C-alpha cells in the first residue's frame, strides 16, 4: 500500500488552472521531491491533498484513506509545513512549542526542543521578533515534533542559509531512517537531488516527469563555460553536448555523459579559464527531457 497516492487530482480556481490530472504515488520510507517553477501548482496540489482546498475532480489517498473524507484523523499522523507560516506571535518560541505539544498524547516537547537546538533556534525569543528564516525553523519544528508517519513540506528550505539547509536535510534523513515518509516541494532540482529517492516534476499544472534519483545521477548534467582572452574557442562536439552560447571569447554548453570523455576532448582546446556548474532545472529539462517543448519549465 502506498503512503500517498494521487488519482487524477484536479483543482480549478473558477476557470483558471490550479493543477490537472495529478497521478502518482509515494511509497513508505521514500523521500520524494516535488519540483517546479513559480505557479506550477505545487502548493495547490499539497493544499488539496490535505483538504485545505476542495478538489474539483479526482482524489488523493493517505495511508490508503481518502484524504478529504478522513482529513481530521489523518492530520494527527501527518506533519505539515505550509509555504507561508503564520503564527500567534505574542508567544515565545518555547511557549508556542509547549502549547503545540498539548495537542499530542505522547511527550513531543522533548523532541521539539532537540529539533530547535539542532536548528539553532533561540526558544526564549518572541515569535514576532523572528526573521523569516527563523519563523521557517519554528514551522519545521512544529511539523516534525510529534514524529509523524508522513511529512508534507511546502518549500521548507526557502529562507534557510546553506548551513541550516544541510542541518535540516540531516534531520529529514534521521526521520526517514526511523520510518517517516517525506514529500516536499522545492523550486530547485539541485537542492532536492541531494536528498530524494525520486523527483516529481510539475509544470503548468501537469506532471512533466517522474524520475528516480539513481537515473538522474547516472545522467548528471553539467554546465561548462570556457573563457579565452583572445581566441575564438572550438570544441569538438560529443554525444550529450548541447551548445548554449558562443561569443568571441567564451562558449558554454550543457553536457550529459562521461566526464572523462569530456576532459579528453577539452585537452586540445586553448582556453584560459573554465567554470563547471550545476545547470538550472529549466536548462536541464528544456534540453534533455522536453526537447520538443520550446517553453521549457
Ligand atoms: N486562490 C487562488 N485563486 C486563483 N488562482 C490561484 C489561487 N492560488 C493559486 N492560483 C493559481 O494556481 C496556479 C498554481 O499556483 P500554486 O501556488 O499552486 O503554484 P506553486 O507551484 O506552489 O508556485 P510557487 O512556487 O510560486 O508557490 C497559479 O497559476 C496560480 O496563479
What tens digit of pLDDT does each residue of 221-270 get?
889 999 998 778 888 888 888 877 888 888 999 998 888 888 888 988 88
Q: Which of 12, 34, 37, 41 to mutate to test the pocket of ligand 1 (most atoms within 8 A of CB)?
A: 41
What pLDDT is attached to residue 296? 35
Q: How many domains does the chain have?
A: 2
pLDDT at 188 over 80: no
261 and 154 assigned to the same domain? no
Expressed in angstroms and rounded, the spacing between residue 277 Cα and the centre of ligand 1 is: 30
What pLDDT is attached to residue 292? 42
Question: Cell triple for residue 106?
Answer: 505522547
The residue written with cell numbers 491533498 in the block is 49
- Binning pLDDT at 50, 70 and 90, where does residue 16 land? very high
Q: What pLDDT, in 10s, does the model give residues 149-161?
A: 999 999 999 889 9
Secondary structure of 155-186 in the HEC alphabet?
A: CCCCCCCHHHHHHHHHHHHHHHHCCCEEEEEE
Among residues 154, 188, 217, which one ends one of the domains?
217
pLDDT at 290 over 60: no
* ipTM attached to this prediction: 0.95
- Closest by alpha carbon to 4, among 44, 60, 56? 60
What pLDDT is attached to residue 242? 83
Expressed in angstroms and rounded, the spacing between residue 247 Cα and the centre of ligand 1 is: 38
Query: 282: exposed, middle or buried (C-beta count within 10 Å: 0-12, 13-18, 19+)?
Result: middle
- Closest by alpha carbon to 249, among 223, 225, 222, 277? 225
Mean pLDDT of 170-182: 96
Among residues 217, 245, 272, which one ends one of the domains?
217
Residues 6+ apart with CB under 8 A from 19: 9, 10, 11, 40, 41, 44, 45, 48, 202, 205, 206
Provide the mean pLDDT of the chain: 89
Q: Which atom of ligand 1 is least distant from the CA of 202?
A: 21
104 and 199 assigned to the same domain? yes
Question: Cell triple for residue 92?
Answer: 515565545
- Closest by alpha carbon to 50, among 151, 193, 138? 151
83 and 119 assigned to the same domain? yes
Q: Which of 15, 19, 34, 42 to mutate to test the pocket of ligand 1 (most atoms within 8 A of CB)?
A: 42
198 and 212 assigned to the same domain? yes
The residue written with cell numbers 550529450 in the block is 240
The span from the CA of 266 to the CA of 271, in Å, is 9
The span from the CA of 186 to the CA of 197, in Å, is 15
- Binning pLDDT at 50, 70 and 90, where does residue 191 land? confident
Mean pLDDT of 21-29: 96
The span from the CA of 202 to the CA of 38, in Å, is 10
Q: Give residue 160's Cα distance to chain centre.
A: 13
Please work out whether the CB of residue 72 comes within 6 Å of at least one atom of ligand 1. no
251 and 191 assigned to the same domain? no
Q: Give residue 81's Cα distance to chain centre.
A: 13
Please work out whether the CB of residue 148 comes within 6 Å of at least one atom of ligand 1. no
Please work out whether the CB of residue 41 comes within 6 Å of at least one atom of ligand 1. yes
pLDDT at 181 over 60: yes
76 and 167 assigned to the same domain? yes
Mean pLDDT of 70-87: 90
Please work out whether the CB of residue 64 comes within 6 Å of at least one atom of ligand 1. no
Question: Can you give the residue range of the structural domain that contains 267?
Answer: 221-294
Please work out whether the CB of residue 51 comes within 6 Å of at least one atom of ligand 1. no
Q: Which atom of ligand 1 is least distant from the CA of 83?
A: 27
pLDDT at 23 over 90: yes
Identify which has the larger pLDDT, 3 or 209: 3
- Closest by alpha carbon to 145, among 94, 184, 190, 187? 94
What pLDDT is attached to residue 49? 96
Among residues 201, 217, 233, which one ends one of the domains?
217
What pLDDT is attached to residue 297? 37
21 and 166 assigned to the same domain? yes
Specify the CATH number for the domain of residue 186: 3.40.50.300
- Binning pLDDT at 50, 70 and 90, where does residue 288 land? low
137 and 22 assigned to the same domain? yes
What pLDDT is attached to residue 295? 37
Please work out whether the CB of residue 44 comes within 6 Å of at least one atom of ligand 1. yes
Q: Flag the least confident range among 13-17, 30-34, 275-279.
A: 275-279
pLDDT at 57 over 50: yes
Q: Which atom of ligand 1 is least distant from the CA of 14?
A: 4
Expressed in angstroms and rounded, the spacing between residue 19 Cα and the centre of ligand 1 is: 9
- Closest by alpha carbon to 2, among 31, 33, 21, 24? 24
- Binning pLDDT at 50, 70 and 90, where does residue 87 land? confident
Amino acid at each position: 500500500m502506498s503512503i500517498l497516492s494521487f488519482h487524477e487530482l484536479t483543482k480549478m480556481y473558477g476557470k483558471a488552472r490550479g493543477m490537472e490530472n495529478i497521478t502518482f504515488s509515494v511509497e513508505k520510507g521514500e523521500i520524494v521531491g516535488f519540483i517546479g517553477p513559480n505557479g506550477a501548482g505545487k502548493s495547490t496540489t499539497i493544499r488539496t491533498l490535505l483538504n485545505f482546498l476542495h478538489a474539483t475532480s479526482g482524489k488523493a489517498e493517505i495511508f490508503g484513506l481518502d484524504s478529504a473524507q478522513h482529513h481530521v484523523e489523518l492530520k494527527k499522523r501527518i506533519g505539515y509545513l505550509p509555504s507561508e507560516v503564520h503564527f500567534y506571535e505574542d508567544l515565545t518560541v518555547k511557549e508556542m512549542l509547549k502549547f503545540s505539544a498539548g495537542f499530542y498524547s505522547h511527550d513531543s516537547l522533548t523532541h521539539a526542543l532537540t529539533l530547535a537546538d539542532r536548528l539553532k533556534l533561540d526558544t526564549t525569543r518572541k515569535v514576532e521578533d523572528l526573521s523569516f528564516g527563523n519563523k521557517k525553523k519554528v514551522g519545521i519544528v512544529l511539523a516534525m515534533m510529534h514524529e509523524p508517519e508522513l511529512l508534507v513540506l511546502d518549500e521548507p528550505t526557502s529562507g534557510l542559509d546553506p548551513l541550516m539547509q544541510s542541518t535540516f536535510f540531516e534531520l529529514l534523513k534521521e526521520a526517514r531512517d526511523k520510518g517517516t515518509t517525506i514529500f516536499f516541494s522545492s523550486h530547485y532540482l539541485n537542492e532536492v537531488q541531494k536528498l530524494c529517492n525520486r523527483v516529481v516534476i510539475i509544470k503548468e499544472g501537469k506532471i512533466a516527469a517522474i524520475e528516480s534519483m539513481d537515473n538522474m545521477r547516472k545522467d548528471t548534467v553539467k554546465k561548462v563555460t570556457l573563457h579565452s582572452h583572445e581566441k575564438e574557442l572550438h570544441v569538438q562536439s560529443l554525444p550529450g553536448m548541447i551548445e548554449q552560447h558562443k561569443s568571441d571569447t567564451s562558449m558554454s554548453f550543457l553536457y550529459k555523459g562521461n566526464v572523462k570523455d569530456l576532459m579528453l576532448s577539452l585537452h586540445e582546446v586553448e582556453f584560459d579559464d573554465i567554470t563547471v556548474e550545476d545547470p538550472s532545472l529549466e536548462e536541464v529539462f528544456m534540453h534533455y527531457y522536453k526537447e520538443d517543448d520550446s517553453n521549457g519549465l
